[in-house]
A and B are shown apart, each in its own frame.
Chain A
Amino acid sequence: MSPPISSRCARAAAVVGAAAALAACDGPQAALDPAGPDAEAISTIAWVMFGGAAIVFIVVLVAVAWALRARRAREGRGLIIAGGVVFPLVVLTALLVFGLTVSSRINAEPDDALTIRVTGKQWWWQVDYLDAGEPVLTTANDIVVPVGAPVRFVLTTDDVIHSFWVPSLGGKLDMIPGRINETVLQADVAGAYRGQCAEFCGDQHALMAFTVAATDDFAAWLAAQQRPAAEPVTDLEARGAALFLENGCGACHTIRGTDADGTIGPDLTHVGGRPTIAAGTLPNNQGTLAGWIADAQAIKPGARMPSFDRLAGPELRALAAYLASLE
């Protein structure tokens, strides 16, 4: 005999709920799957708090059940003092001391950490690698850091409040106009982690993401990124390079080594080597580059990138091929 519909629905809901809950437990953007010391501390605190709350919850439920089943009223003065004053005082104090102790490990300030300034913009992230406070490399959206080393993130914004959050690496921190906030993150496992804006910042807030890739070969990456853009090799790429300037793309975008020196949009000097485009919105390939150029306003309405919808097919392909070649 099949179970009644309500119980089947409940079972299905439980399965779906558990799957949804587990789905968030790992992957590139998961506070429950920490990949660095800060995220580890936050995760530990969360689990201990959860465990503590669960125990208190069970004790209270048992007390309620016992009270409901009791035959006669009891003189409960001692019980009230023990359960209502002493118990919460002891338990909450212990949890507070534990939480403060562990959280003091978060954001430990290193002396000579790599410093990266991230500036929130509607709706992307400008990324400047600093040396003695001066930028030595400007890029966008896809951040690369060394494995196992603390990195100081200097966070600010050009427009509204944004919030910088990489759940796998640590807690979130707001980017506030006119202020500079600092946080230190460390990735102990090589890999790519996803971050996203965690403070509503306008229409395309949901499409304001970024990646943090931790690599063993950071020095080589930095040196390669500091070089000017690759020269076009094929005829198609050369045509794309010319079209880039003819269509005025250089008014907003910089490609170092060319006449394009705009600063309104992301630096594209090495855009071909990034994993995503449009701030974590799309994977990066010639197809998505062409689609983004042709129809940015459909993909991310309100973004400052216009849709270049007057380009002929081969022109669009040439631009995409050129940008993809800028590794």
Chain B
Amino acid sequence: MTVARRLVSTGVAASLLLAAGCDRDAAPQTRIVADGDPGHGRQLIAEVACGVCHIIPGVRGAAGTVGPSLAGFAERNLIAGVLPNTPSELARWVRDAPSLVPETAMPPMPLSEDEAVNVAAYLLTLR
């Protein structure tokens, strides 16, 4: 192998590595892009105090351990280990969990449909 060819192959390998890095940055593994207003969702999460039962990054005092931590929730595949984690399922879940999974301990929460979409939008920002 000549020096030139070695340089070329090193260059190709390096650019592949770089490209791989670029790719991940450009299109992170978000399976879902939620509608709704995550900022308002975060405010609603504080108001109804989801943090009594859940650890929720970005929400002050949300340190509950009754239910699962919601850190990295956007990366999670399933809601409550049962439902696919899509924005629409999540919005239904935060509003009325027992109608979807009767064995859950999570009660229905006082959120309108629009509010639930915003809450889901915030949870889907958690990586």
A89 within 8 A of B: no
Closest to B107 in A: A286
B47 within 8 A of A: yes
Given A282-B49, A292-B52, A299-B52, are A287 and B109 also a contact pair (CB < 8 Å)?
yes
Q: Counting chain A CB atoms within 10 Å of each CB, which of B47, B50, B110 scores highest? A: B110
Q: How far is the CB of A217 from chain B (nearest CB, A)?
A: 23
Whether the Cβ atoms of B49 and A290 lie closer than 8 Å is no
Given A295-B64, A295-B65, are A287 and B102 also a contact pair (CB < 8 Å)?
no
- B-contact 0/1 string along A228-261, CB 8 Å cutoff: 0000000000000000000000000000000000
Whether the Cβ atoms of A317 and B64 lie closer than 8 Å is no
Whether the Cβ atoms of B103 and A287 lie closer than 8 Å is no
Closest to B46 in A: A283
Whether the Cβ atoms of A313 and B105 lie closer than 8 Å is yes
B9 within 8 A of A: no
- A-contact 0/1 string along B92-116, CB 8 Å cutoff: 0000001000111111111000000
Closest to A278 in B: B52
Q: How far is the CB of B97 from chain A (nearest CB, A)?
A: 9
A298 within 8 A of B: yes
Question: Within 8 Å CB of A290, what residues of B?
Answer: 53, 66, 105-107
Within 8 A of A (CB), among B4-56: 47-50, 52-53
Could you tell me the distance between the alpha carbons of A286 and B49 in the complex, rounded to whole angstroms? 11
- B-contact 0/1 string along A114-138, CB 8 Å cutoff: 0000000000000000000000000
> What is the interface of chain A mostly: helix, strand, loop, or mixed?
helix
Q: What interface size band does chain B fall in?
A: 10 to 19
Whether the Cβ atoms of A287 and B98 lie closer than 8 Å is no
Whether the Cβ atoms of B52 and A321 lie closer than 8 Å is no
Question: Within 8 Å CB of B98, what residues of A?
Answer: 314, 317
Whether the Cβ atoms of B110 and A285 lie closer than 8 Å is yes
A294 within 8 A of B: yes
Question: Within 8 Å CB of B104, what residues of A?
Answer: 313-314, 317
Whether the Cβ atoms of B64 and A298 lie closer than 8 Å is yes
Contacting B52 at CB < 8 Å: which of A282, A311, A313?
A282
Whether the Cβ atoms of B53 and A295 lie closer than 8 Å is yes
Contacting B53 at CB < 8 Å: which of A287, A311, A314?
A287
Whether the Cβ atoms of A286 and B109 lie closer than 8 Å is yes
Given A285-B109, A313-B104, A317-B98, are A298 and B49 also a contact pair (CB < 8 Å)?
no
24 contacts between A and B (CB under 8 A): A282-B49, A283-B49, A285-B110, A286-B107, A286-B109, A287-B48, A287-B49, A287-B52, A287-B106, A288-B48, A291-B52, A294-B53, A295-B52, A295-B65, A312-B105, A313-B105, A314-B98, A314-B102, A314-B103, A314-B104, A316-B107, A317-B104, A317-B105, A317-B107
Q: Given contacts A299-B52, A314-B102, could you give 15 more A-B pairs where the C-beta distance is less than 8 Å? A: A285-B49, A285-B110, A287-B52, A287-B106, A287-B107, A287-B109, A288-B48, A288-B49, A290-B66, A291-B64, A295-B66, A298-B65, A314-B103, A316-B107, A317-B107
